[in-house]
Structure 1
Amino acid sequence: MLSEKSAGTIRATLPAVGAAIGTITTNFYDRLFTAHPELLRDLFNRGNQATGEQQRALAGSIAAFAGALVDHPGTRPDTLLSRIAHKHASLGVTREQYTVVHTHLFAAIADVLGEAVTEEVAAAWDEVYWLMANALIALEERLCAQAGTGTTLRDHVVVARRAETDEVTTFLVRPADGTPPPPFRPGQYVSVQVELPDGARQIRQYTLSGEPADALQFSVKRTPGTPGGAPGGEVSHHLHDRVREGDVLRVGAPFGDVVLADGDGPLLLASAGIGCTPMAAMLGRLAAEGSPRPVTVVHADRSPDSHAFRDALERQVAALPAATAHVWYERPGADRPTGPTVRTGHADLAGLPLEPGTTAYLCGPLPFLRAMRTQLLERGVPAADIHYEVFGPDLWLGQD
């Protein structure tokens, strides 16, 4: 809980800090990577640093946490903390790194805000930082203990790979030491570390897209660059072009808090593009169990050719007694005589029945998530029953 004195200072300075948070975080990362270049080389996503997405995500989480402390005293933003803690535990973030971040973050705050950072202001924001940091440290250590590992990355052998589409490849990996792969909940992800040609050991997180016997399965979309804009995904290109059966990857334990909950209530699984991967795992688990739950599947994609797991979707829905699927393609092409109902354009829930008590899981680009969430709220689905996953830095944190 934030002290009453600090709460007043945070409330008074939050607008100024919020207005400058983008500049502060850019300054912070410059300082951090100058002092610790190994963090950019081996931990932080270099592509997201180049586009500024990581800075915006950090800014959003800090501002959201500070705002929650002053707007809802006596409570803690557990959803925000849980989402960050799972990502940090998956990456292997350590307790000591929080002290390193503190040093360079507060130097950046002082540099950007100058004389406005009085001793009282510095002390108040220091309290906010350590409230957030200590909560995350405790959560992350608990998650790692539950996963049975302090260091989450271990050698895994690639036992198979297959092309889902021209852009999406699925990898099956097995622990190199012969132990069985860890259990996971549908919707979780693993960290995958590769060594790139320049020696960098970059880490990315990929959703587990199925559960074959004795292996972990994750699927990777080749991330293209944009002319004069974002660089191409160096790890996704490396996995597609260089990693073959028999190669060894460093893979972490499963983490993630947007997971299929137990129960018998109705479900909506809505995805766009590569956001279909957690839904494939959820549908696979439901089909394997022969679940009687009412399930409505919604998916949007560019075309049938770009729709990963389309065949699996048809099989899984057919195996469920109370499931229906609805697919939207921007370029539909020739439709199949059987399978999901196919429409042209962007996904729209307006014409679909939603049973009372529906729990919704969403995954895809931010515009898709916002559109789906807005439609669900308008149709009376409580916000607490709408769960989402963002691939990449979560720029939506604190904006729900």
Structure 2
Amino acid sequence: MASSEITLEAVPSIGEVSPQDWDACANPGGCGGNGKATSPGLPGDSLGISKPAYNPFVSHAFFSAVETSGSATSRTGWAPRHLVAKIGDRVAGVAPCYLKSHSQGEYVFDRGWADAYERAGGRYYPKLQVSVPFTPATGPRLLIRDGVDRDKIAEALAGGLVALCGVSKASSVHVTFARETEAKLLAGHGFLQRTDQQFHWHNQGFATFDDFLATLNSRHRKSIKRERRDALAAGITIHWLTGDDITEDAWDAFFAFYMETGSRKWGRPYLTREFFSLIGETMSRDVLLVMARRNDRWIAGAINFIGSDTLFGRNWGAVEHHPFLHFEVCYYQAIDFAIRHGLGNVEAGAQGEHKIARGYLPRTTHSAHFIADPGLRRAIADYLKRERAYVTEAGRELAELGPFRKDADEAP
């Protein structure tokens, strides 16, 4: 595959691309809080210097952790096929891509498409997935370094994904949780557009959590205060762990929470114990563990990843269950942390209309889908047209349910 002086190659491991080259594309200008081009640290604190638009999930360290740990490998149905664009010997852009034998761990659901195609005699798997494994967080998917013609590299990567689909004998290419601009660019290469909703919290320049509460109507304000009080009523204390504070003992405890809760939700959790040790070694300053403790032992926790302006909430688990503890650990502590560290947003993961009452409002997410079979493509295009209209209307209705004061004169 070639385009002018640009050459494209699909590599079978993140290890085939150096951390320096990958991160120059994934987070141009960013440097690692651990000295390994992985983390900008927290804005304005001792962990590092903030860099614009840093996204920890597209760092070399994160992909290396999911692959090296055995979480995303050929054996688990995530065979790496990262598309690398070069100008001469220099890496100019990459698209994190996997050849998949199932549709698990993606959070943009296409199992209905697969079932319909296979009932009609087609073969949906393998497919190509351009995403961060097990991570429903919006971020760049066409990663391009500074100092090159970005439009040209983006077009080359988009065309290369279509070509890789044919070479791999895949049914389709799915670019999920992409930026809207990337989805629109991919539309020019035959990718269908899809939208969905998540719930994000936005920092309006709050100095304290009480400042945030003051923007809510009285019913929701009182409800949140009660939930926070009741969550800790059994003598529970909350602890923020990041950087060197995250020990292997803390990872052991968190992994036990993850396995207990994940086994009930999914049957088999996706991430291995080694994954957490690896991110602890390579990107601990990108990680915030919010841990709950009672009677001198850890009982629950949530893992978050720290971007330059966003706290990304990911996995939660518990071995003791207390009223409202999930809301406290996952939502209210994330808001409190973001306010204290000057972060503009909290993304709380996939699904969950219950987040609206806690100050998280609907935001549209974008994906793009190349379907090789013309008949399947036509059917999916018709479905997506109707789905986009539904998502738009649902987002409007959900936004109206927000907990924020409608009357500026309402007493806080």
Do the two structures share a fold, i.e. TM-score over 0.5?
no
Question: TM-score, normalized by length of structure 2?
Answer: 0.26
Q: Give the strand-richer structure, 1 or 2.
A: 2
Question: TM-score, normalized by length of structure 1?
Answer: 0.27
Higher relative contact order (CA 8 A, sep 6+): 2
